[in-house]
Structure 1
């Protein structure tokens, strides 16, 4: 029997971890990625070519299915694959999720609330925009911003004009500055048969705009997870999802959720599922994309993740102390050090929530 093959557009650490999850299932992976030092090259067939390379796209089209490692795939690549085999998520979904205004409009159409926002496409859109979102806001580029990049907080009309100039006068979204209690995220997977499964509700903290920690279980009111699942199901079914989607939420005082952003893929906040027991988010995406049966992938034990991010002085984590801390497991991406770059993460598993939080504090002290 010929083993199934999964094509991946992108060859970074997410593709690496997708490939590692696919391998025990008997699935081989092929990644199309122009970087010769792509992390996924170590565990997948690496097509070192531009995303629009005809030969590379032809090799992906010969796979049983193709999925995405990131949402900013050139539209030409997706167009070239259309009709040649399953691309999941596919259709208009990647284009929708890579553009903040379109994404928010589509979320609202699916019945999911977002923060009030105004599209700022040209200079003519600036007057009155800040007032429309309550006088304080976040200006974000409509495309390409991530990990705190491409955004600025604005508190006055002068701030707004300066921020728009500083972001290059490109199309943006101005969002109301939401007073939230915590940020949480949840993954949802849906296969071609319409079967839906969910990941865990995870609590997230950030440092300098980059995800620092993710913790399961999230410290939220009792009905918050059910609310998150309901919203995720609405989006997955309303958007015709085939694959995996991660929703990031603001949890408001009282427990209501606003959708902040959506990623049509596995997400940094879900990495803790690798070691918490049960199915990981990476196996969930592989299964959904290939049309296999799905199951929820919440961890079986309390767990957490801390990102390892490059520092200006190139400091290394205290690996000896980390390895000696019970329940830790490191995941490194084989990437060159660069300030602000995600170089890896450390997962932590504990027998109970109290122990988890105590060990997490110790783990954070060991990672710059």
Structure 2
């Protein structure tokens, strides 16, 4: 008998779109709850157009075999309303932990992972001496809702800290100590309720202005074993059900600090779509439905380059991208806005040398 199931998704952006596309070959029907009438996932899944806390929409999701998350800014009230009615993977407790930077870092440390030093800033009185406690230089980030470089500011003095806190609206923030890192890397882990685990490969990431520009997977990365051990510890300690992505700072000596986590598939893992193995999207679908897992590391050297909304006259060379051997174009169907994530290109090659040469060519076709 072939597999058959219905998967609900909270959120309808490009990640929900790609989750639905990965679910289709498995005969999994997808419906998602999302208020935006132009949600990217609407072209390949059934949309429940309503607020995330809408009782009727949540009742429809509760009829699914399982529910998963497309992004972490879903109200925890939505997951509470689904609790006991349908398996939600990841669940409300993990979401509540991961969406607040201070709770997240405390839970990471409890799982045995190292993080940057940090101080919770909830009132003006918390500013005094905070920068000194994290090493005299840091990044002030809103405790919740920040992403892609938004909701944060670098600070190097008490005056800059005060200014940044005012600019961020005097909302609860976390002041993180500045980390001198050799590179940024990330790794995904999926876990079934019974404890079975599967891992992605390690990707090396480059951010520009707080936004991911490219990710590269090279088989046999020297810190992959360490990253997997940390991901295992976090997944098991947190009793993960579903998929979680960890972003790391690799220090000059090779030691990894966890920067942050996302309870879902991640931009840096998009290259798994064309790398020859199971994609991160299929891995999340399987974990959410409690189906057998496989590691979702690519089988070939591969890379991903984001396509952001461009300035006037600087549109990507679409024909050049389509002509480049090993390139796979993925567009999200979103309205253009400068700086907005509109798509990505995955690049696959038989060896690392060819990948590097083609990556240079690809980046010349996408303006930044």
> Normalized against structure 2, the TM-score is what?
0.98
Q: Deviations over 1:94-118 (max 9, x none)?
A: 0111100000000000000001111
Does 1:311 find its partner at 2:310? yes
1:322 Cα deviation after fit:
1.0
CA RMSD of superposed structures (Å): 1.2
Equivalent pair of 1:202/1:218 in contact (CA under 8 Å): no
Specify the alignment match of 2:89 in structure 1.
Answer: 88
Q: Where does the alignment leave 5 or more consecutive residues of structure 1 unmatched?
A: none
Equivalent pair of 1:203/1:219 in contact (CA under 8 Å): no
Specify the alignment match of 1:130 in structure 2.
Answer: 131
Specify the alignment match of 1:176 in structure 2.
Answer: 177
**Counterpart-to-counterpart distance in 1, 2:286 and 2:14:** 19
Specify the alignment match of 1:142 in structure 2.
Answer: 143
1:208 Cα deviation after fit:
1.6
Q: Deviations over 1:209-252 (max 9, x none)?
A: 110000001795x2x11100000000000001000000000000
Specify the alignment match of 1:341 in structure 2.
Answer: 340
Specify the alignment match of 1:260 in structure 2.
Answer: 259
Count of matched residue positions in the alignment of Structure 1 and Structure 2? 366
**Counterpart-to-counterpart distance in 2, 1:219 and 1:320:** 33
1:314 Cα deviation after fit:
6.5
**Counterpart-to-counterpart distance in 2, 1:37 and 1:46:** 10
**Counterpart-to-counterpart distance in 2, 1:198 and 1:207:** 27
Q: Deviations over 1:277-321 (max 9, x none)?
A: 010000000000100011101101000000000123273210111
Change (3 A) 1:219 1:200: closer
**Counterpart-to-counterpart distance in 2, 1:258 and 1:136:** 17
Kindly report which structure 2 residues correspond to 1:283-294, keeping only aligned pairs within 5 A, or say none: 283-294=282-293
Does 1:9 find its partner at 2:10? yes
Q: Deviations over 1:13-67 (max 9, x none)?
A: 0000000000000100000000001010000011111111111101100000000
Q: Deviations over 1:83-132 (max 9, x none)?
A: 10100000310011110000000000000000111111110100100001
**Counterpart-to-counterpart distance in 2, 1:237 and 1:264:** 14
Specify the alignment match of 2:207 in structure 1.
Answer: 206
**Counterpart-to-counterpart distance in 2, 1:15 and 1:226:** 30
Equivalent pair of 2:76/2:92 in contact (CA under 8 Å): no
Specify the alignment match of 1:104 in structure 2.
Answer: 105
Kindly report which structure 2 residues correspond to 1:228-247, keeping only aligned pairs within 5 A, or say none: 228-247=227-246
Q: Where does the alignment leave 5 or more consecutive residues of structure 2 unmatched?
A: none
**Counterpart-to-counterpart distance in 2, 1:336 and 1:208:** 21
**Counterpart-to-counterpart distance in 2, 1:328 and 1:46:** 30
Secondary structure, in 3 states, of the residue corresponding to 1:71? coil
**Counterpart-to-counterpart distance in 2, 1:117 and 1:193:** 34
**Counterpart-to-counterpart distance in 1, 2:219 and 2:168:** 34
Equivalent pair of 2:142/2:172 in contact (CA under 8 Å): yes
Which moved further from structure 2: 1-10 or 156-165?
1-10
Does 1:43 find its partner at 2:44? yes
Equivalent pair of 1:52/1:76 in contact (CA under 8 Å): yes
Specify the alignment match of 2:276 in structure 1.
Answer: 277
Does 1:331 find its partner at 2:325? no
Regions of 4+ moved over 3 Å = none
Equivalent pair of 1:184/1:218 in contact (CA under 8 Å): no
Equivalent pair of 1:203/1:218 in contact (CA under 8 Å): no
Q: Deviations over 1:147-195 (max 9, x none)?
A: 0000000000000000000000010011111000000000000001110
Equivalent pair of 2:215/2:305 in contact (CA under 8 Å): yes
**Counterpart-to-counterpart distance in 1, 2:296 and 2:219:** 15
Specify the alignment match of 1:166 in structure 2.
Answer: 167
Specify the alignment match of 1:120 in structure 2.
Answer: 121
Which moved further from structure 2: 318-327 or 16-25?
318-327
